[in-house]
Chain A
Amino acid sequence: MPKIEFIDPKVERQSGEIKLDPIPVNQYSKSIEDEKLNFTKDEFIRIYRDMVIIREFENMINDIKIKSEYNGIAYNHPGPAHLSIGQEASAVGMAYHLDAEDYIFGSHRSHGEILAKGLSVINKWNDSQLMEVMKGYWDGATLRPVEKGIRAR
């Protein structure tokens, strides 16, 4: 109710109609050839790689949930897993231009978005930025096992 907004009955009571602009539906029509102007070879390939990483990650969880096993590695995961197999292009495309200062919030089905966004940021950051964050997070608790690699199980 800011007083500066005067509501004029003459204007408000005028007859007329609301016009909507057309809403674009699937209008993208470029070919890879066209897009060569916008993407380097590495970028084209990285898009593919990111989709594959998400797909494999989700396939693995699917196997674990259904067969309690993935490529010979057995595990039982009693908790939830809402997978996005099939949706990888959406996640990777959504995240492609985003850096760490861009925030994403998601849903119950967001493993793919976490990975896509993380991969996009990793690609944009330099080594020291990455190392600083990884070393600092929970004092390196998440990083250490990854660095050490696999020891005896």
Chain B
Amino acid sequence: MNDLAIDFLLYGTLAEIFARENGFNKGLGGSMHAFFTPFGVYPNNAIVGGSGDIAVGGALYKKVNKKPGIVVANIGDASMGCGPVWEGMVFSSMDQFRLLWEGEFQGGLPIIFNFMNNQYGMGGQTRGETMGYDVLARVGAAFAPYQMHTERVDGYNPLAMIDACGRKKKILEEKKGPVLLDTLTYRFSGHSPSDASSYRTKEEIEAWQNVDSIIDYGQSLVKAGICSQSDLDEIKANTVGKVEKVLKLASSDDISPKMNLYANPRAIEEVMFTNGSVDSFDDREPEVNMPMEENPRVQQIAKKERFGLKDGKEVSKMKAYQLRDGLFEAIVDRFYKDATCIAYGEENRDWGGAFAVYRGLTEALPYHRLFNSSISEGAIVGTAVGYALCGGRVIPELMYCDFLGRAGDEVFNQMSKWQAMSAGYLKMPIVMRVSVGSKYGAQHSQDWSSLVAHIPGIKVIFPTTPYDAKGLLNAALQGTDPVMVFESQRLYDIGELFHTAGVPEGYYEIEIGDPDVKRAGKDITILTIGSTLYTAIEAAKTLEEKYGLSAEVIDARSIVPFNYEKVIESVKKTGRIVLASDACERGSVLKEMAQTISETAFDYLDAPPVVVGSRNWITPAYELEEFFFPQKQWILDAIHTKILPLEGHEPKHDFSSKEQLRRSKLGV
């Protein structure tokens, strides 16, 4: 049986490397991403240092969910130059694990950062050229008084390595992690087989080959009388036979076919999302501090007006059930349903999140379920990726959308890809919250939903009303896919102005992907993303009152997936459409929507769809924002110039094609 299992291991790995459907990941992972979780082999990562924060999330999963075992991040020496690796180490060594987490949750994360130190990046020599640490192990001393138990091990001696890992494992089991290991080794092979090794001498390679650990260790076994040379030779011969066998199997198109996309053109499409529905990822009772009814925020919300209009007038902000309340209700509900559900980010605990969405959660939840992280956006998302793919539900938060760049790899290459790269084996139940600002200038006011929508594998929602916020967030928190939630800071305190029955007290879901007609009309359609909905509603009122045009306003609510049915139905009726949002116009996802509408509803259109976005500038100061973000006047001007002259309308902004081309020529 052992023999069969070894063949299975070799074959599953090789078939994966050769992109065969029998491979461990159906060939969708490949050499650099192969893994097999039943043996505890979690994703390998083609992004240098990619595992540096993801593995920390695995350790977090084990700690929070009381699972046995430790986690090892095997990363290269050159990855010590990568921000996410540092962020991962900072995150993993936060004092709170030892000082503030309570009861059995107290203690360090069970993780070893094992730097497989072969002393080179691709060609760059770490010691002496691209790094300054002299000995990599030194770095561990920086993170905490216990110095991450850092040491250098002679990774050329298997027994030294076994000894070190045994000792370190014990440290982790005593909850004294994290640990850093500098595992000294050397690769004879090039970075890849095509590597000409122009960066090192033949003598150097030979010097390391002369102390080849396999030969050395084998000889020491013979010398110690443990076995004979012929025993070793037999092992080698046996191994060659096995390797030949699996090569024959894995390279055969009959035995190991590649994924057949002719037969099933949707095979990859089908694994982009897992589209699951899961109440809870663990049977255990969620750890909470009090019954939900006793929570002060819950009690406060109970007194609020769940519909924001009374006798045609808006209820005061104080009295109205706000959008942030909708988000809170969905989140608190999940915390009481799913014991694996945790939330973290900057200023999440005590402060309650920079925009008070989490106010009341600190009282409700113990530390290990809601905590403040280091200012490590990469690690906030990266650890969430690790946490989710190990089997937990997690809500990471970035305070501002503008900080997304700091978590670029984690969002664009990790969160988005592991479901598909595992052929649907792994799930990624991450609900990532980001806020879109408006008052703090160029680096705090950007709607980057289009950037995220461009990346396959992430669902994107942008709720703009309390009713939608609760329903969409419930759906996201019930699902198994990564969902990025955009929240406008302009709207956190808005009441429910559309759903006349008010925001239901109980649980309900709104289907992700389904846009909502917020105002019915017959002459022109306005499709919006984000807070521009409210500008569009104002524009619709003016169109009605001043120009006798009835505008239908549709709130996209979701960006990925997006179901066009309602929009096309509307366009069939109106023959005209304007699309508007706060995102910079160039490359905005609205352009994609406009294009799709043109292609699919061309016969019904009287004019091309027109996009009104923000200028392709930096966001100026709040006092100048009316020159940057789409205003009611802009929507009217655009309609007047490009779709349908409005009688008596005097445009104030130039929406002519000539101006559009001029700006494009200048790139502004």
Residues of A bordering B, CB below 8 Å: 1-3, 5, 20-21, 23-28, 30-33, 35-36, 39, 41, 44-45, 47-49, 51-53, 55-58, 60-62, 64-66, 70-71, 73, 75, 77, 79-94, 96-111, 113-115, 117-119, 121-123, 125, 127, 130-131, 133-134, 137-138, 141-147, 149-151, 153
Contact B40 A48 (CB under 8 A): no
Beyond the given A82-B31, A84-B189, A108-B32, please list 7 additional residue pairs across the A-B interface where CB-CB is below 8 A. A87-B116, A89-B214, A92-B158, A94-B114, A137-B12, A145-B11, A151-B254
Q: Report which of A21, A60, A138, A142 forms a contact with B11, defined as CB distance below 8 A.
A: A142
Q: Which residues of A contact B68 (CB under 8 A)?
A: 101
Assembled-state Cα–Cα distance A36/B156 (Å): 19
Check B158 against A47 for contact (C-beta < 8 Å): yes
Known: A103-B58, A131-B1. A108 touches B189 (CB 8 A): no
Q: Which of chain A's residues has its CB closest to B244's CB?
A: A71
Q: B35 an interface residue at 8 Å Cβ cutoff?
A: yes
- When distances are taken between beta carbons in the complex, the residues of chain A under 8 Å from B496 are none
Contact of A86 among B189, B252, B256 (CB under 8 A): B189
In the A-B complex, the 9 residue pairs with the closest CB atoms:
A93-B161, A101-B69, A90-B155, A28-B160, A65-B193, A106-B44, A89-B213, A105-B51, A85-B189
Chain B residue contacts of A98, Cβ below 8 A:
40, 70, 72, 165, 169
Inter-chain contact A28/B141, CB cutoff 8 Å: no
Contact of B247 among A28, A60, A147 (CB under 8 A): A60
- A104, B240: Cβ atoms under 8 Å? no
Chain B interface size band reads 35 or more
- A35–B157 alpha-carbon span in the complex (Å): 13
Pairwise interchain contact A20-B192, C-beta atoms closer than 8 A: no
Q: Which residues of A contact B138 (CB under 8 A)?
A: 23
B410 at interface by CB-CB < 8 Å = no
Residues of chain A within 8 A (CB-CB) of B668 are: none
Closest chain B CB from A43 CB (angstroms)? 10
Interface pair B251/A110, CB less than 8 Å apart: no
Q: Could you tell me if B256 and A89 are in contact, using CB atoms closer than 8 angstroms? A: no
Closest residue of chain B to A87 (Cβ to Cβ) is B185
**CB-CB under 8 A for A145 and B256, given A86-B208, A94-B74, A97-B162:** yes
Within B32-80, the residues touching A (CB, 8 Å) are 32, 34-36, 38-46, 48, 50-51, 54-55, 58, 62, 67-76, 79
Stretch of B21-29, B473-481, B514-522 contacting A (4+ beta carbons < 8 Å): B21-29
Distance in angstroms between the alpha carbons of A138 and B23 in the assembled complex:
9
- 11 contacts across the A-B interface (CB closer than 8 A): A36-B224, A45-B235, A53-B243, A82-B191, A83-B192, A89-B158, A93-B164, A103-B62, A113-B74, A118-B41, A145-B256
Query: In the complex the two chains form, is A41's CB within 8 Å of B227's CB?
Result: yes
Within 234-263 of B, Cβ neighbours of A (below 8 Å) are at 235-236, 239-240, 242-249, 251-252, 254-256
In the complex, A142 Cα to B138 Cα: how many Å?
43
Report if A121-B43 is in contact (Cβ < 8 Å); known contacts: A77-B18, A94-B165, A138-B26: no
Closest chain A residue to B247 by CB distance?
A73
Q: Is B403 an interface residue, CB under 8 A from the partner? A: no
A115 partner residues in chain B, CB cutoff 8 A? 9-10, 13
Contact call B152/A99, Cβ cutoff below 8 A: no
Measured CB to CB, the closest approach of chain A to B578, in angstroms, equals 45
Q: Which of A87, A100, A119 contacts B6 (CB 8 A)?
A: A119
The minimal Cβ–Cβ distance linking A102 to chain B, given in whole angstroms, is: 4
Given the complex, which residues of B lie within 8 Å of A47, measured CB to CB? 158-159, 162, 217
Please pick, from B55, B154, B164, the residue contacting A105 in the complex, using a CB distance under 8 A: B55
Q: Which of A3, A26, A28, A32 contacts B221 (CB 8 A)?
A: A32
Task: Find the B residue at minimum CB distance from A32.
Answer: B224
CA A33 – CA B220 in complex, angstroms?
10
The A-contacting residues of B in range 157-213, CB under 8 angstroms, are 157-166, 169, 183-194, 208-209, 212-213
Q: Is the CB of A83 within 8 A of B187?
A: yes
Chain A positions within 8 Å of B43 at CB level: 105-106
Do residues A79 and B40 form an inter-chain contact, with CB atoms below 8 A?
no
Does B320 count as interface, using CB distance less than 8 angstroms? no
Residues of chain B at the chain A interface (Cβ within 8 Å): 1-2, 4-15, 17-19, 21-24, 26, 30-32, 34-36, 38-46, 48, 50-51, 54-55, 58, 62, 67-76, 79, 99-100, 114, 116, 118, 135, 137-138, 140-141, 147, 150-166, 169, 183-194, 208-209, 212-214, 217-218, 220-221, 223-224, 226-227, 231-232, 235-236, 239-240, 242-249, 251-252, 254-256, 347, 349-351, 372, 386, 390
Q: Kindly list chain B residues whose C-beta atoms are within 8 Å of the C-beta of A125.
A: 5
Residues of B within 8 A of A153 (CB): 248, 252, 254-255
Are the CB atoms of A79 and B141 closer together than 8 Å?
no
A144 to B517: give the CA distance in the assembly, Å: 53
Q: Are B32 and A146 in contact (CB under 8 A)?
A: no
Point out the residue from B51, B100, B221 that lies within 8 Å of A107, measured CB to CB: B51
- Say which residue of A32, A62, A133, A149 sits within 8 Å of B220 (CB atoms): A32
Instruction: Pick from B39, B242, B372: contact of A117, CB below 8 A.
Output: B39
Given A41-B226, A105-B73, A107-B44 in contact, is the A57-B164 Cβ separation under 8 Å? Answer: no
B74 touches A106 (CB 8 A): yes
Return chain B residues, CB-CB under 8 Å to A80: 30-32, 46, 192
Taking CB atoms, residues of chain B closer than 8 Å to A1 are 347, 350-351, 372
Chain A residues with CB under 8 A of B248: 73, 150, 153
How far, in Å, is A47 (CB) from chain B's closest CB? 5
The minimal Cβ–Cβ distance linking A138 to chain B, given in whole angstroms, is 7
The contact of B192 among A3, A82, A137, A151, by CB within 8 Å, is A82
Q: How far is the CA of A149 from the CA of B244 in the complex (A)?
A: 12
Across-interface contacts of A96 in B (CB, < 8 A):
158, 161-162, 165-166
Contact A104 B254, beta carbon cutoff 8 Å: no
Asked if A3 meets B386 with Cβ closer than 8 Å, knowing A87-B187, A153-B254, the reply is no
Across the interface, which residues of B come within 8 angstroms of A100, CB to CB?
Answer: 38-40
When chains A and B are docked, how far (Å) is the Cα of A79 from the Cα of B208? 28
Which of B100, B221, B349 lies in contact with A44, CB distance below 8 A?
Answer: B221
Check B32 against A82 for contact (C-beta < 8 Å). Answer: yes
A124 CB to closest chain B CB (Å) equals 10
A57 adjacent to B14 (CB under 8 Å): yes
Smallest CB separation, A73 vs chain B (Å): 5
- State which of B74, B100, B152, B226 has its C-beta within 8 Å of the C-beta of A110: B74
Contacting pair A26 B184 (CB below 8 A): yes
Given contacts A41-B226, A48-B221, contact A27 B151 (CB under 8 A): yes
Contact among B26, B151, B217 for A23, CB-based, below 8 A = B151
Chain A residue at smallest Cβ distance from B34: A114
The chain A residue sitting closest to B159, CB to CB, is A35
A114 neighbours in B (Cβ, 8 Å): 9, 13, 34-36, 41, 44
B239–A56 touching, CB < 8 Å = yes
Nearest CB in chain B to that of A90: its residue: B155
Instruction: Please indicate the chain A residues that have their CB under 8 angstroms from the CB of B26 in the complex.
Output: 138
Most buried by B among A1, A20, A106, A151: A106
